[in-house]
Structure 1
Amino acid sequence: MTFDVPAVDISPYVHPDAYGDADRAAVATAMDAVCATVGFVQVLGHGVPDEVIAGLAAASDAFFTLDADAKQAYQLPPSINRGYTPPKSESLSLSLGVESATKMNDFFEAFNVGTAASEFPGLGLPESDYSENVWPVEAASFRPGVEAYYREAGRVAHVLTRVFADALELAPDFFEQFTDHSLDVMRMNNYALPPGEIVLDGDLTGMGEHTDYGIVTVLWADQVAGLQVLGPDQVWHDVSPADGALLVNLGDLTAQWTNDRWRSTLHRVKPPIVGGTIRRRRSAAYFHDGNVDALIETIPTCVDDDHPAGYAPVTVGEHINAKLRGSRAGVLYTDSDRNAERVRSAAP
């Protein structure tokens, strides 16, 4: 079976004055088709300047090439979703409820930044969810490069939810009430095995199989092998970003919102081996998750007699924190067995 991640050009939404309603309708129709069948999309026309992406890559390099002791100084407790994560200290599969994933064996290292409570004075947001960021003083270019890209990725995420609203036949600003103080996090990943020939432990994984937790993820990544997506055929397929594209995928909250009309697709990262040698691979995933206090209930346009609502209402905070306890703290996620079963039934 041929597996393809289609490209959708969102220029009519990024530059609305240059396009008409028919152009936007065509984009929304295309997005609906991709979200219903694949759950991943190559997004073109996003408008993120090349120099901002280059600045992000340089910032990532500036931090991850520091020595281990310098990086370790920015590791925070698992309950604080910020700062540095060393290799083999997480297991993303636990966020699915896969009981066999008992070892913290994901070899990527990461650095997380996110939206802080101080950005919304007066709302009384919980600092446990909207933690302040830590910034490595050893890498002067890190903060400006990361913040510039973070703003752009957030803009793209909000544009995408505007596309989603049209695709789902909702009011244009439907998602804004759920995302005006969104619990957003960006995770910069570095697949950190040293370059050269190496024999891998059979249990070693770049990043374990998982679905993303929130509304939508905007991913910048190197065009290096490693990312795999579980297709409708229950086979893992290699995926790489197209030239100039950002890879976008849906999260669990969108699947729940749409009553599984749209897919929160399982994906993983295998050790990036090319020609028998390890190649370095970098990525940055911007997770647009919604307001911590937003209640997610099935969208009325996604319910009918043949498709009754299949999910109980849940707040963004309840859902995200349960998932993070799996991946970061090693607590098995038990609220749903749907995705766990998909992992177990996937072809090797």
Structure 2
Amino acid sequence: MATTEQIYGTAEHSYSTLPETQVLNLAYADLVNIDLSKFDEPGGKEELARQLKDGVHSVGFFYVTNFGISQERVDKQFAIGKEFFDLPFEEKEPFAADHANGGYNGYTGRELKHFKEQDKVTPTYRGKNIEVYNIPKFTPQFDDFHSHHPSPIVKNWDEIKQFGKDVHTNVIEKLLVLFAIVLELKDENYFVSRHQYDEKSEDHLRYMKYKARSEEENAKATGLYTQGHTDLGSVTLLFRQPVLGLQVLAHDGTWHFVKPLAGSITVNIADTLDLLSGTYLKSSVHRVIAPQVDQAKFDRIGVLYFVRPNNHVLVKAVEDSPVLASEGLYEKVKDLPHETKPITIETWVKERQRHIFSQQERDRQESAGQGATAQGAERKDLEINVAGIPTKVWT
């Protein structure tokens, strides 16, 4: 694609001003919008939890607005991401994540040797246009990692650091309180206490790029940027993405777009919180497809934040939830391996990440994705077991 078309994400043209698609008659998911400005009002938390309850149990996706971080600061993060991805590959390669050992902080791109070797075994068109740069929390746990970053990160260090901390305080901690209220826990800080910023955990800020592809390239990838999947952690935050492509899988097996709501963060429940809630909080199956024709020329830049519990926390359902008891979920999960012999979050994350970047997973994805462009279906024959925890596979 011509570089003159990729003007969005700069100081002159903020990414939030990229024109939305004008294509009509698209199916959109009906998602609740949680206005966090109400959180500290009398009865505000309880009201928001009531609004949220059905969404996190049945859909697993929702919006957050009025979260206390200005659009100007969000735009700056998109600009930092674009500046990094615009670097020559030779300047990004030295910051590659340690994929072979389950690492994910740093740079991921299909031109890296690790992935080129996989391509020789299992050629694929999906994912070849994706680049990622992950930045872990700004805590002593990651001091060594933070001593080595590319220039766009280094020169914006203070802004990135404050942004990450504000996301945790202004958004994540409040959502964790709401989840505890939804489950009717006596301690509304139950999940907050297990997601302490200053304790060891694998949270990370992510800059992400889906490079625009030609019609021919999209056809080879069956129209997909990423196939159906669930996320690993507690929740994932996606700052408003104007290039339409994110879809959530509905109960009837059809895909619905997630509309880019102005001034919002799109939040989805992920696998770990699903497990900690005894499966009440639903980990959402989602995917990204190629943009509509009027947005096809644009690179899709993303700013995301992935939330995970502290490393010492056990992967085990919360106790004494009246909601889980009334739904019969304690009985449902009591004999599962991770309940009878729980493992730590640290072990779960490490083993899951190692599997994600393995050749086995690469082969599975290619098998699961054959012809899977219109409908979503659970593939029981491809269900995987990671560290004793069964993980569903979707096409």
TM-score by length of 1: 0.82
Higher helix share: 2
- The 1-side partners of 2:328 and 2:218 are apart by 48
- The 2-side partners of 1:314 and 1:145 are apart by 36
- The 2-side partners of 1:37 and 1:102 are apart by 36
Within 5 A, what are the aligned runs for 1:1-348? 3-13=29-39, 16=40, 19-21=41-43, 23-78=44-99, 79=101, 80-87=103-110, 103=124, 105-106=126-127, 107-115=129-137, 119-120=139-140, 132-133=145-146, 134-137=148-151, 141-155=155-169, 156-170=171-185, 171-180=187-196, 181=199, 182-193=201-212, 198-203=216-221, 205-275=224-294, 277-300=296-319, 301=321, 302-304=324-326, 306-307=328-329, 308-310=331-333, 311=336, 312=338, 313-332=342-361, 333-335=384-386, 336-337=389-390, 339-340=392-393, 343-344=394-395
Unaligned segments of structure 2, at least 5 residues: 1-26, 116-121, 362-383
Instruction: Give the corresponding residue for 1:94.
Output: none
**Are residues 245 and 2 of structure 1, via their aligned partners in 2, closer, same or farther at CA, if it must alter by over 3 Å?**
closer
Identity of aligned residues (%): 22
RMSD value over aligned CA atoms?
A: 2.8
**Are residues 200 and 320 of structure 1, via their aligned partners in 2, closer, same or farther at CA, if it must alter by over 3 Å?**
same
Instruction: Give the corresponding residue for 1:97.
Output: none
**Quick check: 245-254 or 70-79, which moved more?**
70-79
User: Residue type of the partner of 2:211?
Assistant: A
**Quick check: 178-187 or 309-318, which moved more?**
309-318
The 8 Å contact of residues 5 and 42 in structure 1, kept in 2 or not, is answered as yes
- The 1-side partners of 2:175 and 2:327 are apart by 29
What is the deviation of 1:5?
1.7
What is the deviation of 1:103?
4.8
User: Residue type of the partner of 2:104?
Assistant: N
Cα deviation, 1:44-98, whole Å, max 9, x if unaligned, reads 121111221021011111111112221222213213321111137799xxxxxxx
**Are residues 30 and 84 of structure 1, via their aligned partners in 2, closer, same or farther at CA, if it must alter by over 3 Å?**
same
- The 2-side partners of 1:175 and 1:249 are apart by 16
Cα deviation, 1:294-325, whole Å, max 9, x if unaligned, reads 11321231135833141423321122122211
Count of equivalent residues: 318
The 8 Å contact of residues 240 and 263 in structure 2, kept in 1 or not, is answered as no
Unaligned segments of structure 1, at least 5 residues: 92-100
What is the deviation of 1:42?
0.8
TM-score by length of 2: 0.73
Q: What is the SS of the residue equivalent to 1:81?
A: coil
**Are residues 200 and 339 of structure 1, via their aligned partners in 2, closer, same or farther at CA, if it must alter by over 3 Å?**
same
**Are residues 55 and 288 of structure 1, via their aligned partners in 2, closer, same or farther at CA, if it must alter by over 3 Å?**
same
The 8 Å contact of residues 235 and 267 in structure 2, kept in 1 or not, is answered as yes
The 8 Å contact of residues 125 and 220 in structure 2, kept in 1 or not, is answered as no
Runs of 4+ in 1 over 6 A off after TM superposition: 88-91
Q: What is the SS of the residue equivalent to 1:278?
A: coil
- The 1-side partners of 2:157 and 2:193 are apart by 29
Q: What is the SS of the residue equivalent to 1:240?
A: coil
**Are residues 273 and 140 of structure 1, via their aligned partners in 2, closer, same or farther at CA, if it must alter by over 3 Å?**
farther
